[in-house]
Amino acid sequence: MHCALILALTTAVTGTLRAADPTRQQDAAGQQQAPSPGQNSAAACRETAKKLPQLGKDPIREVIDAMTIEEKVHLLVGAGTSATDLEAAIIGQTRKLVPGAAGTTFPIERLGVPAIVFADGPAGIRISATRDSTAQTFYATQFPIGTLLAATWDTVLVRRVGNAMGEEVHEYGADVLLGPGMNLQRNPLNGRNFEYFSEDPLLTGKIAAAIVNGIQQQGVGTSVKHFVANNQETNRLNNNTIVPTRALREMYLRPFEIVVKEAQPWTIMTSYNKLNGTYTAERADLLTTVLRDEWGFKGLVTSDWLGGVNPVWSVQAGNDLLMPGLAKQRDSILKAIRLGTLSLHDVDRNVQRVLELILRSPHYAKYTFSNTPDLKASAAVARESAAEGMVLLKNDGTALPLPAQARKAALFGVTSYDFIPGGTGSGTVNSAYTVSLAQGLAAAGIKPDKKLQLAYESHIAAEKAARPAPKRWWAKQLRPQVSQMEVSDAEIARLARTQDAAVITIGRISGELLDRIVSTDYNLSEAEHRLIERVCNAFHKAGKKTVVVLNVCGPVETASWKARPDAILVAWLPGQEGGHAVADVLTGKVSPSGKLPMSFAMRYEDDPTAPNFPHREDYDTVTLHESMSTNHTLPDTGSKNLDYTIYDEGVFVGYRYFDTSGKEVSYPFGYGLGYTTFGYGGLDIARDGDDYRITCTIRNTGARAGREVVQLYVSAPGKDMPKPAKELRAFARTGLLQPGADETVTLRVPAASLASFDEASSSWRTEGGTYTFRVGASSADIRLSGTADVEAACVETVHPVILPPEKLPEPGRPQAEQ
């Protein structure tokens, strides 16, 4: 979200009038003269003499008509708080319904309208683990991060994760889970990429739809976020993302379109940023024209916590609910109604959507939640999904799985013992425990060297104890990583003699508020390079294997060091059962089958978005964060990538760029090894109604059981406009195939999905000609290919909206002066 962690309170809301703006919805026909406060009071008194309509028992229209203006406005603005402390204003004010949840709606008891509860977050429900009134604990399961779930490429498994999440949300008394996050991973440094799924819109949309369907199957709602193009944390409240129309439609809107059409989330959360000049919470062309009219969204739109600037414009645009709710927002809306500058038609429309959401909620149904979800069952799902989403990047000489006789291991790296289960901010979960790699291997029968373990644990404890207490609320959420401990050459030599293998864990955490940096976060530090080199040299000299485990929030640079270890496993941030899940893979209990949901570049600078992304080294981090803690935002200085970011790479994001340009990568999109091998054959391509049906046979040609992720890429003729060399159009994951077994895989590609967006005609158009259908194990490992002749077609004409400015900003000039 958001949410608990805001870079700044919104600037003062004044209700100032402005000229008509095509990005906001205006309905002159709906304008009504607002009753005076006295009239409202008189009406309320008269209602006491008659039976009042009740939500769910009487038509919604009658309930709305029975509301006072003040009640309607209260319903459009979350219950909020009168607290002046920023942290208190953002998180935990839930009218004592579910302590630690993110917020509630406003109840109107006389009309049978209860408050409902919104809770973070994308890796599991975030609520307070303890309460003053009881000794009972309220721990929740910390599931693997979104990126890991996408790396499974398994919608069935991800739906099961959603089922488990939803059960905890239901039994802990919340109504809407603020997740999943599903912005595109445009740039590898985005601090919240760990919450998101992929650099590809199809994979993102399909995984998001799976988890939304799983959660909502439990009778609670989701709030998919952040709508839209919220791809950096730096100055996120003010940044203007300037996105070409084709890229917006094909890349950034497409995942949300998929989740709306395949899962109908109960709510969608608008993002903090401006989009092509206007805050997303204030764009009627985004929230009404595209989301509702074109896609058929049926639910409610909520702001991110304290998102947007002008609440009146948000109401007009169709941002139905402003969360967590501030008194000044209510005052501004009431003033506009009384001045006649805000239509009661717009107010009533949004009120109806809030009431429709409440009618679906467990709180409306008076569900008696138990506060005792099945945490044991959830932990099993978390462990299984974590193992299935780990990606084996390298495995020379069958270093993995570790042989049965390997019973002792030297574990290097602080995160072998201080394992990172998830990211910070709204992605945090208050879980009962985190299984470290050391604990996971020990439970699997592989004993870590005790002397080395004690040295690391002492180092970790001392460094944490020496840290000063954070002075600001936002600083509490920034978990600084413990520095690498220096291990002497003599100690490494001892371990090479006495241990059966070495495992080096490299850790990276990220989250809200800060984007990552290149020098020692995306790149490995000098200490980490030295550690890998020295350990590999010593263990190889002793004839023993070395494995690197990447306990990371996203991509790191691998090209400069990947030749040294025998095996590399990306474990991501795998949740509370992470140590067990890594051990399951390292020992062969689980054969890895995860595939990268993004590309690993050779260097950060090779990424096509690198010139158009804020680099933290260029800004004063203290100034950025002091601004958010003093209730104001940064002034617009016209700074490129701070005040505005231009997405001039267009649709050529990630593998679309690398494969088209021929730029070498360290590991390609869709890549991942296993403990067995697979053969591909029997390709057949046929038109089947509105779809193309592609079938092939996958055979396990190795000696161990395993699963394969089959990926279908399509290449268009590319004569009518620049096209990527190939684009993912379908994927499937086989069942567990025993050695020699095969499975026929069927992939379906809707003919309409072959269309590209034509900006000139504002339409989706399929170019006529010969298309190549490529089936492979990654975007760079194509095993089968065939062609099909496709007729030119206009698939759909849409509204010419959300257009970028004709004149782009110039660095050094504030946007307002352009």
**Half-sphere exposure of residue 303: CA atoms within 13 angstroms, side-chain side:** 37
Give the integer Cα–Cα distance in Å for 15 and 342.
10
* Rounded distance between C-alpha atoms, residue 82 and residue 105, angstroms: 15
Q: What is the end-to-end Cα distance of the chain in Å, rounded?
A: 31
Dihedral angle sign, alpha carbons of residues 719, 723, 729, 734: positive
Instruction: Provide the Cα torsion 447, 448, 450, 451; round to 10°.
Output: 150
Question: Which of 274, 277, 282 lies closest to 301 in space, CA to CA?
Answer: 282
CA 190 to CA 175: how far, in whole Å?
Answer: 29
* Whether residue 304 lies in the annotated active site: yes
Q: How far apart are CA 616 and CA 50, in angstroms?
A: 62
Q: Measuring CA to CA, which residue among 88, 79, 95 is closest to residue 6?
A: 88
Q: What is the 3-state secondary structure (H, E, C) of 347-384?
A: HHHHHHHHHHHHHHCCCCCCCCCCCCCCHHHHHHHHHH
List Cα–Cα distances, 627 to 13, 87, 271, 274, in angstroms: 18, 14, 19, 19
Which residues, including other chains, have CB under 8 Å from residue 643's CB and lie 6 or more apart? Answer: 235, 238, 239, 240, 634, 636, 637, 809, 814, 815
> CA 120, CA 131: separation in Å to the nearest integer?
18
Rounded CA separation 266/722 (Å): 37
Q: Are 507 and 414 in contact (CB under 8 A)?
A: yes
Name 241's bridge partners: 275, 645
Q: For residues 22 and 285, what is the distance between their CA atoms, to the nearest angstrom? A: 7
CB proximity list for 297: less than 8 A, separation 6 or greater: 260, 264, 268, 291
Annotated active-site residue in 120, 175, 200, 304: 304
Tokens 């402005």, residue located: 18
Name the pairing type of β-strands 742-750 and 501-507: unpaired
> Tell me, what DSSP letter sits at residue 522?
I
Structure tokens at 99: 């302590």
Which amino acid, one-letter code, is at 715? Answer: S
Cis peptide before 226 (omega within 30 of 0): yes
E-only strand ranges, 653-741:
665-667, 678-688, 691-700, 709-715, 727-733
Query: Closest Cα to residue 772, out of 659, 651, 664?
Result: 659
SS3 for 752?
helix
According to DSSP, residue 294 is labeled I
257 and 209 Cβ atoms separated by less than 8 Å? no
What residues contact residue 563 under an 8 Å CB cut-off, 6+ apart? none
DSSP notation for 234-282: TTTTT-EEE--HHHIIIIISHHHHHHHHHH--SEEEEPSSEETTEEGGG
Amino acid at 723: K
Per DSSP (E only), the strands in 80-150 are: 103-104, 117-120, 130-131, 134-137
The answer to whether the CB of 429 falls within 8 A of the CB of 125 is yes
Distances (CA, A) of 147 to 199, 517, 590, 629: 10, 19, 19, 30
Q: Which residues are designated catalytic?
A: 304
